[in-house]
Structure 1
Amino acid sequence: MENSILHLENADIYQRDNLVLSKVNLTINKGDFFYLIGKTGSGKSSLMKTLYGDLKLQRGTGAIVGFDLKKLKDKEIPFLRRKIGIVFQDFKLLNDRTVFDNLLFVLKATGWKDKEAIKAKIEEVLDHVGMKMQYYKKPFELSGGEQQRVAIARALLNDPELILADEPTGNLDPKTSLEVMELLNEIHQSGKSILMATHDYALIVKFKQQTIKCEGGELFEVAQG
Structure 2
Amino acid sequence: MENSVLHLENADIYQRDNLVLSKVNLKIDTGDFYYLIGKTGSGKSSLMKTLYGDLRLQRGTGTIVGFDLKKLKEKDIPFLRRKIGIVFQDFKLLNDRNVFDNLEFVLKATGWKNKEERKAKINEVLEKVGMQKQYYKKTFELSGGEQQRVAIARALLNDPELILADEPTGNLDPKTSLEVMHLLNEIHKSGKTILMATHDYQLIVKFKHKTIKVEAGELFEVAQQAKV
TM band (smaller chain): over 0.9
* Aligned match of 2:180: 180
| 1:1-225 to 2 correspondences below 5 Å | 1-225=1-225
Describe the SS at the equivalent of 1:123.
helix
- Matching residue's letter, 2:71: K
TM-score, with normalisation over the residues of structure 2? 0.98
AA of the residue aligned to 2:40: T
How many residues in Structure 1 have an aligned counterpart in Structure 2? Answer: 225
Q: Structure 1: 5+ residue runs without aligned partners? A: none
Q: Structure 1-normalised TM-score?
A: 1.00
State the percentage of identical aligned residues: 87
1:224 Cα offset (Å): 1.0
State the Cα distance separating 1:164 from its structure 2 match. Answer: 0.0
Secondary structure of the corresponding residue to residue 55 of structure 1 = coil
Cα deviation for residue 17 of structure 1 reads 0.2
Amino acid at match of 2:102: N
What are the ranges of 5 or more consecutive residues in structure 2 without an aligned counterpart? none
Q: Secondary structure at the match of 1:95?
A: coil
Runs (4 or more) in structure 1 with deviation over 4 Å come to none
Measured in 1, the distance between the counterparts of 2:15 and 2:161 equals 26
Query: What is the aligned-residue RMSD (CA, Å)?
Result: 0.3
Query: What SS does the aligned partner of 2:183 have?
Result: helix
Residue deviations 1:66-85 (CA, integer Å, cap 9, x gap): 00000000000000000000
Residue identity matched to 1:150: V
Q: State the secondary structure of the residue aligned to 2:46.
A: helix
Q: Deviations over 1:153-202 (max 9, x none)?
A: 00000000000000000000000000000000000000000000001000
**Which secondary structure state, in structure 1, belongs to the residue aligned with residue 111 of structure 2?**
coil
